[in-house]
């Protein structure tokens, strides 16, 4: 039996092809993939770049716990949660939540739960650098 859940926190660009391969499963009729991408503005302030800082050891444990909750709550066949850290540019992928399940409804629900839980419960912080030379640590509205 292949590993159901794959979680990862690392500075390398997220390998979406590897995530697609992890989600491949003949018994799954639906796959949902959420990609969180660096936006070019925060409200109306142009963003040049940002860094994600992580408490990596705890972040990985929290991701594992979120993936466990997802597989316990929905009949998922595969889960992948990958978050990038370090410096990212506008347009780069910061986070991916992928799920595969026999039917689409639970795939959508579980994926939505996954990204919301990541934004709430995982010790990762975003430091945004703006075009006007200022910078700021962001906080998610949960």
Partner 1 sequence: MVIVKLFAQVRELAGSSEIQLELPDDARAADIAPAIAARFPLVARVMPSARIAINRAFADPDTPIRAGDEVAVIPPVSGG
Cβ contact 75:102 at 8 Å: yes
Alpha-carbon distance of 112 to 92, in angstroms, equals 20
- Residue 54 C-alpha from the chain's centroid: 13
Q: What's the min distance (Å) between Cβ of 66 and partner 1?
A: 11
Q: What's the min distance (Å) between Cβ of 135 and partner 1?
A: 10
Select the residue interacting with partner 1 from 67, 79, 83, 106 (CB under 8 A): 83
Binding to partner 1 (CB under 8 A) within 31-70 occurs at 36, 52-55, 57-59, 61
Q: What angle do CA 9, 72, 20 make, to 5 degrees?
A: 45
Q: What's the min distance (Å) between Cβ of 123 and partner 1?
A: 5
Number of neighbouring beta carbons within 10 Å of residue 87: 13
Judged by CB, which is closer to partner 1: 14, or 77? Answer: 14
Residue 92 touches partner 1, criterion: CB under 8 A? no
The H or E element spanning position 58 is: helix 56-73
- Contact letters (x/-) for partner 1, 97-136, by CB under 8 A? ------------------x--xxxxxxxxxx---------
Number of neighbouring beta carbons within 10 Å of residue 78: 23
Catalog residues that contact partner 1 under the rule CB under 8 A.
36, 52-55, 57-59, 61, 83, 94-95, 115, 118-127, 137-140
């Amino acid at each position: 039996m292949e590993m159901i859940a794959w979680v990862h926190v690392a500075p390398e660009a997220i390998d979406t092809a590897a995530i697609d391969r992890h989600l491949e499963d003949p018994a799954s009729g639906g796959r949902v993939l959420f990609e969180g991408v660096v936006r070019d503005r925060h409200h109306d302030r142009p963003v040049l770049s940002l860094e994600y800082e992580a408490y990596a050891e705890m972040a990985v444990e929290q991701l594992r716990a979120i993936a466990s909750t997802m597989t316990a709550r929905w009949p998922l066949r595969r889960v992948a949660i990958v978050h990038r850290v370090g410096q990212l540019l506008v347009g780069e992928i910061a986070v991916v939540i992928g799920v595969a399940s026999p039917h689409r409804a639970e795939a959508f629900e579980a994926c939505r739960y996954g990204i919301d839980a990541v934004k709430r419960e995982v010790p990762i912080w975003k430091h945004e650098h703006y075009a006007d030379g200022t910078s700021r640590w962001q906080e998610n509205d949960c």
